[in-house]
Structure 1
Amino acid sequence: MSEKLTITLPAEMLALIRRQVEAGRYASTSEVLREAVRVWMRDEEEHAERLAAVRARIKRSLDDPRPAVPLEEAFARVKAHAERLSRSG
């Protein structure tokens, strides 16, 4: 099912769309906009997946039964690791 939609675009966007149609890359302005919406939908889905992965990692970290590392110790570990990397590189 389709529904007709009226939108307002800046002149630069409209000119770009028309050039793509005139060049034969797309059959119509509607086809250009459908492709743009498909790309946007895919980006939104990928963003949601990345966000879910981050949330899962945070949850695993919060649920980890091991004791927390004190901040000073964490910084010392990072510094020692960086020093090892600089010596080996």
Structure 2
Amino acid sequence: MGTMNISLPDPMKRWVEEQAKTGRYANSSDYVRDLIRRDRSRNEAIAEIQTSVNIGLASGPGATLDRSTFKSRMRAKYAGE
């Protein structure tokens, strides 16, 4: 595992240390690793959503949804479940 030293303003350093003391994290490094994991997961989710949006935009103009037809199709599709 690599090592990284970072500088934090005193209020941030105290915050990280307080989070570690709650017992949820083993130490300050564990807390920072958790933040990085969450940020990475969030960025991956955003990228996945953006990909879906891009696919939708590239598919051309949308069509108006007829609610009653849609409901009928869904009822027919899931009637046996």
TM-score scaled by length of structure 2: 0.69
Q: What's 1:51 paired with?
A: 50
Identity of aligned residues (%): 25
Does residue 34 (structure 1) correspond to residue 33 (structure 2)? The answer is: yes
Q: Which has the larger radius of gyration?
A: 1
RMSD: 1.8
Task: Report whether the alignment pairs 1:24 with 2:23.
Answer: yes
Aligned counterparts of 1:58 and 1:31: Cα–Cα separation in 2: 41
Paired letter, 1:38: R
**What count of residue pairs does the alignment treat as equivalent?**
63
Unaligned runs of 5+ in 2: 64-81
Higher helix share: 1
4+ residue segments displaced more than 6 Å:
none
TM-score scaled by structure 1? 0.63
The answer for unaligned runs of 5 or more in structure 1 is 67-89
Relative contact order higher in (CA < 8 Å, ≥ 6 apart)? 2
